[in-house]
């Protein structure tokens, strides 16, 4: 019974992956009367600017490879407010439109020379597909007004709150502008190529920065994250021997080998820790075989493991070796595994007053930015809705994030 249930789980995982690839909105925005911004008597002074910025970001489609338009909008928005901005070119992908190159957005507050920033405030401007239009509940805007759309949580909510937080601090003259820098990267949802390019440019002295602290924006429910699980991302191929399905003993089923292996992998403790729980495995894509009456010659799986052990540099490879040992036990000659990237659990600083804390299971750009700096991970929204058709958050969550980012920026500047 355990074997049958586990096999069903493996096959269901593949089906769910295919469904996600074809995901479309499960709803459409209602016919809306224009929302009245800042109508609550207790609304913060920045509410209108925050919600307008958030709407513009979410309304601009920016799936990985097609981030050009949202980058242009953000540069124009910041330039209009006196920021000094730069574009850092990022390599195109297969789906990048001609004439719309990809780039990271680097920005320095008004009055800054950009010579020696010490605190970096960063998030990503790409989102998972498909684009889901912006929507907001009808009527006057209150704390509980709900906003939806792709990126409303992950991570354009963080981008809008970060910019608004810094703007508020600048207006109150609470920060040394020379010590601050904004960075909004592309490609986080796929390979992290935007942050990796920025990191490499610093390591190779193409960019002259050395940061003491980096504040990363991701949906953490407005709790300060103490860290997140690592990741291991692999492609696995199984080679069998084709034949007639009525005579299975004359061939070797690649599908059966793959199912047997992952049934054992899913039941095996691949590594656990008190802080991060168990290492988990997702069979995100399963392909194999030609027809019901043919013994499958090949099978292919895309696997993602969420790694609960460390160190950051070694944890993923410990898990990889345990998975490889299972493949070897099932059939040493049939399996080949190529892991594109991986890392162990990633720690961040959560020792800041007045913040609830959390540990999250998803990956971020934190391990893609190498260096000897203190890391903070924080942002509005819940990851459980972030990649779904009902991605949404409330006005209160956005505004709480503005206040949280202000506290983190001031804290980081004092360290």
> What is the set of active-site residues?
188
Report the interhelical angle of 156-171 vs 395-414 (nearest 10°). 60
| Residue appearing with tokens 């709150």 | 161
Q: What are phi and psi of 268, to 5 degrees?
A: -100, 140
Say how far residue 300 (Cα) sits from the centre of its chain: 25
Long-range contacts of 249-257 (CB under 8 A, 24+ apart): 251/295, 252/295, 252/334, 253/295, 253/296, 254/288, 254/289, 254/296, 254/297, 254/298, 254/299, 254/334, 255/288, 255/289, 255/296, 255/299, 256/296, 257/299, 257/330, 257/331, 257/334, 257/335
Contacts of 8 (CB under 8 A, 6+ apart): none
State the alpha helices, DSSP H only, in 24-99.
47-59, 68-80
Closest CA to 336 of 305, 298, 307, 304: 298
C-alpha 55/C-alpha 52 separation (Å) is: 5
Neighbours of 9 (CB within 10 A): 13
Per-residue DSSP letter, 19: H
Angle at 19 between CA 15 and CA 21, to 5 degrees: 120
The residues with which 295 forms a beta bridge, in sequence order, are 243
Of residues 283, 232, 280, 263, the one with CA closest to residue 18? 283
- Residues 381 and 400 sit within 8 Å (Cβ to Cβ): no
Cα 189 to Cα 129: distance, rounded to the nearest angstrom? 10
């Amino acid at each position: 019974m355990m074997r049958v249930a586990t096999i069903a789980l493996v096959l269901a995982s593949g089906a769910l992956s295919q469904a996600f690839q074809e995901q479309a909105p499960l709803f459409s925005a209602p016919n809306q009367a224009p929302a009245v911004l800042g109508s609550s008597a207790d609304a913060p002074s920045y509410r209108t600017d925050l919600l307008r910025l958030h709407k513009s970001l979410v309304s601009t489609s920016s799936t990985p490879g097609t981030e050009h338009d949202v980058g242009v909008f953000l540069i124009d928005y910041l330039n209009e407010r006196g920021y000094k901005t730069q574009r850092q070119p990022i390599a195109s992908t297969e789906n990048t439109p001609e004439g719309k190159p990809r780039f990271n957005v680097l920005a320095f507050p008004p009055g800054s020379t950009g010579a020696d920033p010490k605190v970096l405030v960063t998030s990503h401007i790409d989102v998972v597909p498909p684009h889901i239009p912006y929507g907001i509940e009808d009527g006057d805007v209150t704390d509980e007004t709900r906003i939806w759309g792709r990126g409303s949580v992950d991570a354009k909510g963080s981008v809008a709150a970060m910019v608004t937080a810094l703007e508020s601090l600048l207006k109150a003259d609470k920060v040394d502008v020379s010590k601050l820098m904004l960075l909004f990267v592309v490609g986080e949802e796929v390979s992290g190529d935007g942050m990796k390019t920025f990191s490499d440019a610093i390591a190779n002295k193409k960019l002259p920065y050395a940061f003491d602290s980096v504040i990363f924006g991701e949906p953490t429910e407005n709790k300060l994250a103490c860290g997140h699980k690592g990741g291991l991302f692999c492609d696995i191929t199984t080679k069998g021997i084709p034949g007639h399905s009525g005579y299975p003993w004359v061939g070797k089923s690649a599908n059966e080998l793959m199912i047997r292996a992952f049934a054992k992998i899913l039941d095996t403790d691949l590594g656990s820790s008190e802080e991060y729980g168990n290492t988990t495995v997702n069979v995100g894509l399963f392909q194999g075989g030609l027809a019901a009456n043919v013994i499958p010659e090949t099978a292919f799986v895309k696997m993602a493991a969420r790694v609960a052990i460390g160190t950051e540099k070694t944890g993923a490879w410990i898990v990889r070796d345990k998975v490889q040992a299972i493949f070897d036990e099932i059939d040493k000659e049939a399996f080949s595994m190529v892991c594109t990237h991986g890392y162990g659990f990633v720690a961040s600083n959560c020792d800041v007053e007045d913040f609830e804390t959390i540990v999250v299971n998803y990956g971020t750009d934190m391990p893609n930015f190498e260096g000897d700096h203190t890391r903070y991970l924080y942002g509005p929204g819940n990851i459980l809705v972030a990649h779904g058709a009902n991605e949404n958050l409330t006005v209160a969550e956005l505004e709480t994030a503005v206040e949280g980012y202000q506290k983190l920026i001031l804290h980081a500047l004092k360290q």
